[in-house]
Structure 1
Amino acid sequence: MTISEPIPLVERSVSDSPSALAPRRRSWLPQVSCTDNMMMGVALLAGPANVIMQLARPEVGYGVLESRVESGRVDLHPIKRARTTFTYLVVATQGTDEQQAAFREAVNSAHRQVRSTNDSPVKYNAFDRDLQLWVGACLYKGNVDIHRIFLGEMDDEHADRHYHNEGKAMATMLQVPEDMWPPDRAAFDRYWQEQLDKVHIDDAVRAYLEPIAASRLRGLTLPGPLQRANERLALLITTGFLPQRFRDEMRLPWDAQRQRRFDRLMRLLRGVNNLLPPFLRAFPFNVILWDLDRRIRTGRPLV
């Protein structure tokens, strides 16, 4: 990458100010107001990349890889696992106290079974606050990237409000106390850089993540050429949403040509997203709390 090329959005720190951007990069990044909906269906495109980021901490990776909670495994039940993650995001940031309490207990019940054994390569426990903080940080970082790509730059006031409200909520929904969340966006950037030193994806976790990166679903295979085309597109999107540190760990190739293809695709999708009526733009996040209440009323599992 030459010095004249813009820094990909996913590589930027969350404390970057819009005023620091060169005009060429600002031209397609409109300013937005604080009323913009942070939860959009298009954000699902970044889901596989965010899973990879979370599992890049070995303790999280092996906690998922060795999980005895069969019903929550993304490799076995990808749609159910996705619903749980989406519900977590919406409940943490928009749910009532009652909804949060019910969902927290359901997650805690599953997490009680997630702990390392004597045979595990690394020690882990799903109640580890440090690991929960890392997962919350990945969710927040991904949320910022989605906003920058599909809605544009937040001004500093909006970015600070989002950080202290939605960002903190994503990390502190379970056992992480609020004072563990970095006090501001600059502190978050320092935390993020420090945590990158702890990132490592070994062969076992990489093999687990590769089908997720390519959106390869168990039991669902398209005819040969369509399947290959779908996986190529999915890999482009997943890799494009990953900072280079994680691409390297996954051994996913990337270059300037792929970056341009990714940028063109995101511009196209942003245009389509902007044309959608608000209800469709927010789907499925806008029906998740309704579904959660229905599950609570009928006694169905929440996770």
Structure 2
Amino acid sequence: MTELAENGRRADASPAAHDDALPLGPDSLVWKYFGDNRMYLIGPRPAVLQNMLAELGQGVLDHSVFFDDTAARVKRSIPPIMTTVYGSDDDHPGTQVRDFHRDIKGDMPSGDRYHALDPETYFWAHATFVEQVLYFADTFVKRLTDAEKERIYLESKTWYRRYGVSDRPMPADYAGFVEYWDRMMNEIVVAHQTARYGVGYVTKGFPKPKGVAPLVWRVVAPLFNPVAAFLTTGGLPPRARDLLELPWTDRQEKAYQAFAALWRSAPVNWVWNRLPMKVRYNTYAQTGYGRV
């Protein structure tokens, strides 16, 4: 079960006060990259990896509208997480995000119990977002230095503590996070049916979104589906692709790396950095930067 401080809350109301972390804000790298609209280029990487933890995938299977209306789950989940990052230390919905998960619990097929607020489960969900920032920036923006990776990770510790959940599973530094990530990918994650469902469109095609006319979708789908499959499969770690049995060739890998290198190139970055803020960042990041 979750390990919260007295009365279900962390005793320290100011996460940024921890001396083992770095603050979030307009000068932080997490702010710089997490709300960047180029993030769409990595596909659904964090969501797929989250559901590959058996306990988390089971919670989604048992409690979420994911299977009935995937878009609805995304629209409900993303805003409070974004606002937790781009809010201030004293004004963010982090504990509300935590409380959304209080009743997400049940039985695994093995008979073991799961709970969304178990520290190991909750931290894995957060870890996929941290890795999302690292992967996105290093792949599609610029090659990160070791110091930048360390900085992003230390900022993410402040982010995680805003949820008010036990930070016991959280590694102390970036090197520890890399060890944690490798262990999770190589020893823990599985091809849970929720994750398989989430990438089923790679081979079967994307289902028609609600609100899109059938005729329009028949025209758009032949163009959309190959792009979605390319970004989804290419954006996953090789281990995840293997477990989920997603088709991927050496030729596709070379094409993906060339695509990423184009986005990292100086001319593309020069153009991107001169576009209006409303083009470069989502509304939550715009609000955060605008506030300060």
* Normalised TM-score (structure 1): 0.70
Relative distance call for 1:157 and 1:53 in structure 2 (3 A) is: same
Counterpart in the other structure of 1:145: 135
Confirm or deny: 8 A CA contact 2:233 2:248 kept in the other structure: yes
SS at match of 2:127: helix
User: 1:190 aligned to 2:179?
Assistant: yes
1:246 pairs with 2:240: yes
Q: Partner letter of residue 126 of structure 1?
A: A
Contact 2:208 2:217 in 1 (8 A): no
Write the distance in 2 (CA, Å) between the matches of 1:158 and 1:248: 30
Q: Which amino acid aligns with 1:144?
A: L
Match of 1:108 in 2: 98
Give 1:130 shift. Answer: 0.3
1:46 aligns with 2:45: no
**Quick check: 1:58–1:200 contact (8 Å CA) kept in 2?**
yes
Per-residue displacement from partner, 1:101-135 (whole Å, max 9, x unpaired)?
Answer: xx234323431221114878763211111011111
**What amino acid sits opposite 1:282 in the alignment?**
Y
Secondary structure class of the residue paired with 1:245 = helix
Q: Is the 8 A contact 1:65 1:205 kept in 2?
A: no
Residue matched to 1:277: 276
Aligned pairs, how many?
251
Alignment of 1:150-161 (within 5 A): 150-161=140-151
Match for 1:97: what amino acid? D
- Looking at structure 2, the residues matched to 65 and 262 of structure 1 have their Cα atoms a distance apart, in angstroms, of 31
Shift in alpha-carbon separation, 1:113–1:78, aligned structure 2, 3 A: same
Change (3 A) 1:212 1:57: farther
Instruction: Tell me if the contact between 1:239 and 1:247 (Cα under 8 Å) persists in the aligned partners.
Output: yes
List aligned pairs for 1:1-303, cutoff 5 A. Answer: 37-38=32-33, 39-67=35-63, 73-100=65-92, 103-117=93-107, 123-165=113-155, 167-196=156-185, 197-203=187-193, 205-211=195-201, 216=207, 218-219=209-210, 220=212, 222-224=216-218, 226-269=220-263, 271=268, 273-274=272-273, 276-287=275-286
Cα distance in 1 for residues equivalent to 2:275 and 2:228: 22
Alpha-carbon spacing, 1:238–1:209, altered in 2? closer, same or farther (3 Å): closer
3-state SS of 1:116 partner: strand
The one-letter code of the counterpart of 2:181 is W
The offset of 1:279, in angstroms, is 3.1
Q: Secondary structure at the match of 2:175?
A: helix
Q: CA offset at residue 47 of structure 1?
A: 4.7
Give the root-mean-square deviation of aligned CA atoms: 3.1
1:127-168 deviation per Cα after TM superposition (whole angstroms, max 9, x unaligned): 111011111111111110110122212333332221101x22
Contact kept in structure 2, 1:56 and 1:200, CA below 8 Å: yes
Q: Give the 3 Å change call, closer, same or farther, for CA 90–181 of structure 1 in structure 2.
A: same
Percent of matched pairs sharing the same residue = 22
* Comparing 269-278 and 56-65, the one that deviates more: 269-278
State whether residues 52 and 191 of structure 2, in contact with CA within 8 Å, keep that contact through their aligned partners in structure 1: yes
Q: Give the deviation of 1:173 after TM superposition.
A: 3.4
Q: How far apart in 1 are the matches of 2:111 and 2:242?
A: 22
- Matches of 2:133 and 2:181 in 1, distance apart? 15
Q: Distance in 1 between matches of 2:38 and 2:132?
A: 12
SS at match of 1:99: coil
One-letter code of the match for 1:133? F
CA distance in 2, matches of 1:239, 1:205: 13
Say whether the 8 Å CA contact 1:58–1:199 is kept in structure 2. yes
